[in-house]
Amino acid sequence: MAPAHDGTLWAMVTRTAIVLWRMRPSHVVAAVVRSEKSIDKYGENVRVVWRAGALVVQTSKDSLLFYHIVRVPGAGHLYAYSHEGQASLSPAQTSMRALFRPAPGESVGEAPGARGAGDAALQIVLRHAVQVDAGLASVAVVDSFVLVGTRSPRAVQVFEWPPTQSAPQSTLLDSLEWVGPGTVSYVTYSRAMMVGVWITQSGSASVAMRDGDSWVGAPMHESGAMCAAINARFSLIAVGHRDAVSLYAYQTPDVPPVLVRTLHLAGAGEVNSMSWTGDGHALAVAFATRVAVWSTFGYLLFDGHADAPNLQDGFLRGARHVFWGPGATELFILPHEGDETPVYVLPSLKSASTSQLLPDHAHTAFLQGDDSVYIYRGHEQLDLCVIAPENDTWRHVCVPPSYLAANWPIRYASISGDGRFVAVAGRRGLVHYSCTSGRWKTYASAAQEQSFYVRGGLVWFQHVLIAACDCDGEYQLRVYSRDAELNNTSLLDLQLIPDPIVVTAIFDTSVLVYTAGNILFHFLVVPTRDRIRLELCGSISFDGVIGEPARVRALSWMVPPEQQQNGDPAQDLTHASVIFLVDGRLVLLRPRRVHGAHGTELSYDLQILHDCVETYWTNLQGRDTLHNSLWGFDGNVTRVWLDVLSLGSSDVAGDYGIDAHAVIPASAYPLTILLSRALVIGAESSVTLRRTLDSATFRLRTSTAPFLHHVLKALLASDMLRDAVFLAAHYRGLVYFGHILELLMHEVLDEEASAKQRRKKPLLPAVGRLIDHFDVALSVTAQCARKTEVSHWQYLFGALGAADVLVGHAISRAEFDTAVQLLLVVYELQPTLAADATARVLVALNEQSSWDLFQQVLSFLQATDEDGKRVKDVLRRAASLSRAHRTDSLRDTPLGSLARTLAENGQLDEPSAPRFPTSVPSLTPRSPVRSPARSLAPSPSPASPSAETLRRAVRHASLSAKPPVVQKNGRLVLPGV
């Protein structure tokens, strides 16, 4: 298979036929079945490539067949439905339009001024045939030439297009030192980067560029290469080999590309085909056993694999060829031979940030599909609703079919910062939508809609839409009002830009426009009585700083606080630090004033924050230490720089730039950062196979992962306890705040307790000092102990405080669940104090009439009692403490009744002095609790139970054959007493 460059057609060849398909509507528009005479002479079809309205077919007998695609206007349809010689049964086009509304893309080419095939019929006509006597190993189209690799001699030949009588230019591979051994068996070429990749039969890969009549290049991959794909948006080259794909960063044709990452997929087999999306954010790979999709720098987005023999979706067992359709919302898959389905088309959703990244919209997640957009509404819901996995937090909005019919696919989709307004732009024109009213606004005039297309982005300022447009070669900034009709006469303002616009961004009232001329323009949004207009404040050239403007993916800036509060907004450009994402590098440009011959001049210090960044977010309205924070995802983890403006030139660390303050592992592909909820919102795909269905079910799942504990850990590691406390205090109202602190403690505990060599300054005590500032400190400690290994308890409570002391504090704070949970730790680490701790807990539960917990403790006691003495001893101690209160309110309680019975029998001693403090210091902070020293001497106690007994007790405490029973009349029935 091979798609056309404009995305309207695609071709497929079989051994004997060439079939031409239209993308929308999906149907065959032309076909050629070759005769037996042609096959005998030239051989069977092997491969097809496109060349500007023409097809070049490689055959098995070393021939090239050149076919032209000819339009036949007014010829009607080449295919018609008929029955037994009757007239055509095909309905007329006018009848079809009256009865059926066109789907997205089905009217492309029919609108006034639009380019496309329209209703014209297409024919595939053979124009030329070339026999390559040297043996044909590969074919590709390079600029205006056709490049072929020959076997004998081992060379590459260039054929002119259209064909001429002149002989092809030939270059022997032996004269090119950077080409590996063997013939060139695979060639791919990128028109945007003007570079190709050659793969030889030995499996070596090289980059190559045509320089006049010669070739320049450099070696890249040594062995095992099977195919390659070039990503012009990120200057990446993917090389496929068995069970893996290697990513290389390309610089210049004479410099060997640098290996960035290798993506492994065990058992995937050989790589047959690869394809990047047009925006460069996804790589589809057809393996011998499956189809996989990775993000730019290697996050596995989709792994389609199934061994079910009755499954109709044969592409899940492997594929021969893949390519992305227009808009990157459909993946075309050619399965292995023998599959009854000729081609599979797999629909997909993608983040709208892949076409336009708005770094300051960190709280908005926005997806786009083939004909609709999805708006994340989790920030409007309660905390528990956001983190609930089954909660549907997306609002589905369909784009008007009348607009997409002629302007499909969606090229840009933008949402306002408050989530109220949406704008969508396709091939031509634009439309916008209000989430409040649920209404779209479209151009009433088709001629006006088709007169321009959005190029450079869409941004919202409140209810005003600012669009970067190309109108017949004139580059404009158009300002639309959501309240006005959508037409050219209702524009609030129009600014002309001298060069094509690459990126548009908005921050507060500043609009930044970066152009292909390497110039950044700064506009201010100025409201007046009648309208809102854009006022140009200044511009800066980045010549010598940014090498290739077209590869700038996004930009943002950060203005110092003093300039924000006291400075003139028109002068922000001279004070702001500018952030660029170019070729996957996150670059920080810091302004510096220098004195030159012409006075004070502005220059920039360039710092690379990190390589391999797919997307990033800024936070100009953050919380304390998160203010001016920067978040970047590199395909594996999300890196957080807490305050970019505080970074200095001395912070440079190695080839990867400035080290991030915090690193957040990715549990799903991150879509947005909900700072108010301390969550990273992500998405992941899933494939479900059911026995009752013969096809797979695909689903997109929303993932929520807390990030606060990673940031707090980074602050504590930098001895910034005060900052960590203030940051955590902002989130103390979250329902899952205790869980976040528990994650922090658990992560640090696992790292330090399992480490072979302990840190010079352990981090766990600092974690204890942090959580001591919050009321959930004790419950967090108990939950962490319950969920971690017993072997880690000694280290945990050695750093945070003795378990028996924590039990006393839990009782004084009426946190009885926590006290009961900590009892097990006391039995394990402090067996001599276990009886006293248990007695104290029983007395507290008795006073509060917490009979469920009371019975659980007694069940646990009986399960740990190996000789029958432990239960009696603990109950005597508890009865003594209960008798010491001598209050009428406890007289009819179980312990009160037991105390009277034991006293009457002479088995009850006078209560000993309390072994726990009757009051505790304030928990803000509660440093005395964290002291591991014990001020009380242990009292005599029966022999401690073994570890196996404790584990058995926990397992069977609630399943005891004869557990202690608290009757309704207040009597305690205890077997054996």
Query: Could you give the CA distance from residue 403 to residue 397 in angstroms, rounded to a whole number?
Result: 14
Query: Could you give the CA distance from residue 670 to residue 615 in angstroms, rounded to a whole number?
Result: 9
* pLDDT at site 91: 61
Sequence-distant (6+) residues with CB within 8 A of 198 are: 149, 156, 179, 184, 186, 187, 205, 206, 207, 208, 217
Query: Could you give the CA distance from residue 956 to residue 167 in angstroms, rounded to a whole number?
Result: 89
Position 960 pLDDT exceeds 50: no
Position 759 pLDDT exceeds 70: yes
Counted residue by residue, the chain has a size of 977
Give the tens place of pLDDT for each residue, 903-932: 555 555 544 433 333 333 333 444 334 433
* pLDDT at site 85: 55
Query: Could you give the CA distance from residue 528 to residue 723 in angstroms, rounded to a whole number?
Result: 42
In the chain, the N- to C-terminal Cα span, in Å, equals: 85
pLDDT band at 115 (very low <50, low <70, confident <90, very high): very low
Lowest mean per-residue pLDDT among 165-169, 735-739, 907-911: 907-911
* pLDDT at site 916: 37
* pLDDT at site 524: 96
The answer to whether the CB of 549 falls within 8 A of the CB of 564 is no
- Average of pLDDT values for 584-607? 81
Position 261 pLDDT exceeds 50: yes
**Which has the higher per-residue pLDDT, 620 or 794?**
794
- Integer angstrom CA distances of residue 354 from 48, 525, 593, 681: 30, 26, 35, 16
Residue 137 lies in a domain: no
Sequence-distant (6+) residues with CB within 8 A of 259 are: 246, 247, 248
Which residue from 786, 792, 822, 816 is spatially nearest to 804, judged by alpha carbons? 822
The answer to whether the CB of 373 falls within 8 A of the CB of 329 is no
591: enclosing H helix or E strand:
strand 585-596
Position 967 pLDDT exceeds 60: no
Beta bridge partners of 504: 513
pLDDT band at 890 (very low <50, low <70, confident <90, very high): low
Sequence-distant (6+) residues with CB within 8 A of 26 are: 345
Give the tens place of pLDDT for each residue, 621-677: 655 568 888 999 999 999 999 888 887 655 544 445 688 889 999 999 999 998 888
Residue 677 lies in a domain: no
Q: How many CA atoms lie within 13 A of 608 on its CB side?
A: 15
Which residue from 571, 550, 547 is spatially nearest to 559, judged by alpha carbons? 571
98: enclosing H helix or E strand:
helix 93-99
Beta bridge partners of 664: 638
CA angle (43 as vertex; 40, 44 as ends), nearest 5: 115
- Average of pLDDT values for 856-868? 80
- Integer angstrom CA distances of residue 731 from 456, 681, 737, 747, 911: 38, 17, 7, 19, 45
Give the tens place of pLDDT for each residue, 804-813: 999 999 999 9
The answer to whether the CB of 307 falls within 8 A of the CB of 296 is no
Query: Could you give the CA distance from residue 280 to residue 552 in angstroms, rounded to a whole number?
Result: 12
Query: Could you give the CA distance from residue 823 to residue 874 in angstroms, rounded to a whole number?
Result: 13
Which residue from 455, 493, 362, 374 is spatially nearest to 422, judged by alpha carbons? 374
Token representation of residue 52: 């500007």
Quote the DSSP letter at residue 214. Answer: E
Looking up tokens 């206007």 gives 73
- Average of pLDDT values for 829-852? 88
pLDDT band at 850 (very low <50, low <70, confident <90, very high): confident
- The side-by-side arrangement of strands in the sheet containing 662-665 is 615-619, 629-633, 637-641, 662-665
- Average of pLDDT values for 313-336? 93
**Which has the higher per-residue pLDDT, 509 or 385?**
509
Amino acid at 257: P
Token representation of residue 436: 């409040």
* pLDDT at site 392: 74
**Which has the higher per-residue pLDDT, 650 or 387?**
387
Question: How far from the centroid of its chain's Cα atoms is residue 843's Cα?
Answer: 53
Position 955 pLDDT exceeds 60: no
531 by DSSP, 3-state: which? Answer: coil
* pLDDT at site 766: 95
pLDDT band at 411 (very low <50, low <70, confident <90, very high): very high
**Which has the higher per-residue pLDDT, 71 or 261?**
261
Looking up tokens 């076409």 gives 355
Range of the domain at 872: 801-973
Query: Could you give the CA distance from residue 627 to residue 621 in angstroms, rounded to a whole number?
Result: 6
Q: Judging by beta carbons within 10 Å of its beta carbon (0-12, 13-18, 19+), is residue 727 exposed, middle or buried?
A: buried
Position 970 pLDDT exceeds 50: no
Whether residue 153 is preceded by a cis peptide bond, meaning omega within 30 degrees of 0, is: yes
* pLDDT at site 847: 84
Report, in this order, helix, strand and coil percent for the chain, each rounded to 5. Answer: 25, 35, 40
Query: Could you give the CA distance from residue 497 to residue 507 in angstroms, rounded to a whole number?
Result: 20
pLDDT band at 292 (very low <50, low <70, confident <90, very high): very high
Across 863-899, b (16+ Cβ under 10 Å) vs e yields bbbeeeebbbbbbbbbbbbbbebeeeebeebbbbbbb
The answer to whether the CB of 414 falls within 8 A of the CB of 458 is yes
Quote the DSSP letter at residue 100. Answer: -
Residue 371 lies in a domain: no
807 by DSSP, 3-state: which? Answer: helix
Q: Is the dihedral of CA 37, 38, 40, 44 positive or negative?
A: negative
* CATH code for the domain in which residue 14 is found: 2.40.10.480
- Average of pLDDT values for 261-273? 95
Residue 340 lies in a domain: no
Residue 94 phi/psi, 5° resolution? -65, -40
Amino acid at 290: R
Residue 70 lies in a domain: yes
Give the tens place of pLDDT for each residue, 180-229: 999 999 999 999 999 999 999 999 999 999 988 899 999 999 999 999 99
* pLDDT at site 562: 86
- Average of pLDDT values for 414-419? 92
Give the tens place of pLDDT for each residue, 229-257: 999 999 999 999 999 999 999 988 889 99
Looking up tokens 């029966």 gives 942
- Average of pLDDT values for 358-367? 85
Q: Where are the alpha helices (DSSP H) in 569-720?
A: 708-717
Position 268 pLDDT exceeds 60: yes
Position 940 pLDDT exceeds 60: no
* pLDDT at site 657: 62
- Average of pLDDT values for 94-111? 74
747: enclosing H helix or E strand:
helix 737-754
The answer to whether the CB of 590 falls within 8 A of the CB of 551 is no
Residue 73 lies in a domain: yes
Domains held by the chain: number:
2
* pLDDT at site 621: 64
* pLDDT at site 977: 40
The answer to whether the CB of 26 falls within 8 A of the CB of 63 is no
Beta bridge partners of 190: 195
- Average of pLDDT values for 77-95? 57
The answer to whether the CB of 883 falls within 8 A of the CB of 903 is yes
Q: How much of the chain exceeds pLDDT 90, in percent?
A: 59
Sequence-distant (6+) residues with CB within 8 A of 887 are: none
pLDDT band at 883 (very low <50, low <70, confident <90, very high): low
Residue 534 lies in a domain: no
Token representation of residue 61: 């007998």
Give the tens place of pLDDT for each residue, 128-154: 899 999 999 999 998 888 999 999 999
Residue 548 lies in a domain: no
Mean pLDDT of the chain: 85
The answer to whether the CB of 784 falls within 8 A of the CB of 740 is no
Question: Around Cβ 174, how many Cβ atoms within 10 Å?
Answer: 11
